[in-house]
Amino acid sequence: MASGRSGRGVPSKGGYARRGMNHPTELLPARPAEAHALAVARTLPGERIVCTTAGRGQAAHSLAVERPNAAVVAWFHDLHPCTAAQASWTPAPPNLAAECVADMPVGPYDLAVVPLTKNGEAEFSRDVLQAAIQNLAIGGHLVVAIDNPRDKWLHEQLAETGETVSVRPVEGANRKAKSGTIAYVVEKTRELAKVRDFTCEVVFRDRDRLLTAFTRPGVFAHRRIDPGARHLLGAVDVAPDSRVLDIGCGSGCVALGIAGRDASVQVHALDSSARAVDCTLRGVAANGLTNVTVALEAEGRVPEPGSWDLALANPPYYSDFRLAELFVEAARLALAPGATLLVVTKQPIWYLEHLPRMWSSVAREEVKGYHVIEAVRP
């Protein structure tokens, strides 16, 4: 399921000092870029702090522990890492908030800490960097680190702000551990001259109706309707009064298409991405649809489980099919006996091997390199 619920850690009565808690990075080490960003952030002032994470919010957690008078926000856009981070914060300091929302919680902040990965989505990184600088107070600092010691791209993005970019190399005992990273510091001296809107409006046709969807960086699929979604829509005929699930809805194109065909059809779209939920809700409003509900959900929970007629899914291919397995299990629990699951994929073997164990009438149809897998809930 693609990503976010907002929540706050619950502090223990004893707190860290009295319970003698270990430093959080000793319990679960941060990834190199986040460890480097944290090391630099520790040298800078700041009592209003926002952090993103490359793992489980270790930078935010550490700064909250070390600065008990600071207000620290850990921003996630996906519910899976948000939930994992909160579970690792035991006990969570009372001044640390985990926010899983589509956009960076509004500042102003004195310090923003943003670890990035060289394999990350470039436009999403630009979006996050812009948000961090926007939400800094004048005189505040942005710390950015990336797991690419020969980086040029990130330096160029920061330089485009017009601010001075300082390189912060690895120092002291941390040198060996972070030798594969580089960090930068930007002090905000003025407001951004130009703020870019990364949202994209996509118009597509489903049968006889034109529909408008919205996409954003970090949401599948940005700036287009995915061909798999088109094939999934083409494979579906929905009876009046049906109850349909779109599991891992992304930008919501499938949910919008199905709901737009017949107002009597009830569609429930769910995704673990706060940005995906935001995009789908925008699409619902733009198309004037009243038969779609949207939920931020990572575990596949739906209203009235065991009563839905059809589940549609376009699962991602990464994570060795762990997410695909989650999608399928969510559908199994949600559907009524005799109801149908339709999955679109480019890699059908896993489904053909695993679905017959708990599903009946498993069938496959290939369309232009995509495979639509159909299975019936026994």
pLDDT level of residue 10 (50, 70, 90 thresholds): very low
- Residue 26: is its pLDDT beyond 90? no
Distances in Å between the alpha carbon of 345 and those of 192, 208, 237?
42, 25, 19
Domains of the chain by start residue, with CATH: 7-187 (3.40.50.150), 200-376 (3.40.50.150)
Average pLDDT over residues 118-145: 97
Task: Write down the pLDDT at residue 95.
Answer: 98
Measure the CA–CA gap between 216 and 121, rounded to whole angstroms.
12
| Helices and strands counted in the chain (H then E) | 12, 17
Q: Who's near 24: CB < 8 A, 6+ residues apart?
A: 58, 61, 62, 65, 88, 89
Structure tokens of 294?
């949207």
Task: Write down the pLDDT at residue 14.
Answer: 30
DSSP 303: S
Lowest mean pLDDT among 24-38, 91-105, 110-124, 232-246: 24-38
The dihedral built from the CA positions of residue 338, 344, 348 and 354, taken in this order, carries a sign that is negative
Task: Quote the percentage of the chain above a pLDDT of 90.
Answer: 86
Q: What is the torsion angle, in degrees rounded to the nearest 10, for the CA atoms of residue 256, residue 258, residue 262 and residue 268?
A: -80
Using alpha carbons, select from 374, 332, 323, 316 the residue that is nearest to residue 245. Answer: 332
**pTM exceeds 0.85 for this model:** yes
